[in-house]
Structure 1
Amino acid sequence: MAVEFCSRLLDDLPNALIVSDLKGNIQLWNRRAEILFKISKVDALGQNLDIVIPEYLRNAHWAGFHRAISEDNTRFHGASVRTKALLGDGTFALLDMAFSLTHDEYGHLVGVSAIARPSMSAI
């Protein structure tokens, strides 16, 4: 019952939630992520984050991703940053995204989380 409730809770969040492992493979993709990125959960889970990163931003993204993992700290400390995302239909969207690192119950770094929503400047 608790797992089912947590799953519904994550799907009912008002923002997209994406969690990847330390290699950048998507482990969690909520319903709002499906809507925002136009990619189903089935198609996103297990895929590399490159499915939502425009090609011209990938080098910068991966440099920041690996730096955050090696330093166990994010550059923006949870503050939102405006960025462009690649959508499942091949178009782009301007999003506000906040990133955090995910640790297990022993404090070991196990993944990277992102919360995304349409940029207020795009509305």
Structure 2
Amino acid sequence: MPTTIDFEQLVNAIGDAVVISDAHGAITLWNPAAERMFGFTQAEALGQSLDLIIPERLRGRHWDGYNKTMATGETRYGHDLLKVPAVDKSGRSMSIAFTVALLHSPQGDVTGIVAVIRDETSRFSEDRALRKRVAELEAKVGV
């Protein structure tokens, strides 16, 4: 017999940030992992624009794509892992990796987007340092 899944418990227990925004980009779900990752409490985030975590320089591009997705009901990212900059409550720059999925009404209209997000800041910094070191070593040996 299949087990009934308590989806609220699942979203609250998962280690990755789960953020849902409506068709206009207002945050409608912000789990405890999102609180830990970005520093905003659920009360601070709910109802706010996704601009809360989008660096100012990237907002235009983000909203162009977001609005196109809402209008067409299609995202070009599908199951791709997206890697982009973000900011936390203190204004600290972060590197995040996430997947997105569209949410639909019973009538099939797109009602929002869910993103499952992981903080990749440390790994991104380590990768950048390693690439720099490899370039320095290659320069020394004339590669």
Q: TM-score, normalised by structure 1?
A: 0.90
Cα deviation, residue 104, structure 1: 2.0
Which residue in the other structure is 2:21 paired with? Answer: 20
Q: How does 1:89-104 map to 2 (within 5 A)?
A: 89-104=90-105
Cα deviation, residue 87, structure 1: 0.4
Q: Provide the C-alpha distance between the structure 1 equivalents of 2:95 and 2:124, rounded to a whole number of angstroms.
A: 8
Cα deviation, residue 121, structure 1: 2.8
Give 4+ residue runs of structure 1 displaced > 6 Å after superposition.
none
Cα deviation, residue 122, structure 1: 4.4
Alpha carbons 2:85, 2:95 under 8 Å: kept = yes
Q: Provide the C-alpha distance between the structure 1 equivalents of 2:29 and 2:87, rounded to a whole number of angstroms.
A: 18
1:43-89 CA distance string (max 9 Å, x none): 00000110110000000100110111112111111211110111011
Cα deviation, residue 14, structure 1: 2.0
Q: Provide the C-alpha distance between the structure 2 equivalents of 1:47 and 1:11, rounded to a whole number of angstroms.
A: 19
Q: Provide the C-alpha distance between the structure 1 equivalents of 2:22 and 2:112, rounded to a whole number of angstroms.
A: 4
% of aligned pairs identical?
Answer: 30
Q: Which amino acid aligns with 1:75?
A: R
Which residue in the other structure is 1:57 paired with? Answer: 58
The number of residues matched between the two structures is 121
Larger relative contact order (Cα-Cα within 8 Å, sequence gap ≥ 6):
1
SS of the residue corresponding to residue 76 of structure 2 reads coil
Alpha carbons 2:73, 2:109 under 8 Å: kept = no
For the pair shown, which has the larger CA radius of gyration, 1 or 2? Answer: 2
Q: TM-score, normalised by structure 2?
A: 0.78
SS of the residue corresponding to residue 76 of structure 1 reads coil
Q: Does the alignment pair 1:121 with 2:111?
A: no
Q: How does 1:1-123 map to 2 (within 5 A)?
A: 5-119=6-120, 120-122=123-125
Q: Structure 1 regions of 5+ residues with no counterpart?
A: none
RMSD: 1.7
Greater fraction helix: 2
Alpha carbons 2:21, 2:114 under 8 Å: kept = yes
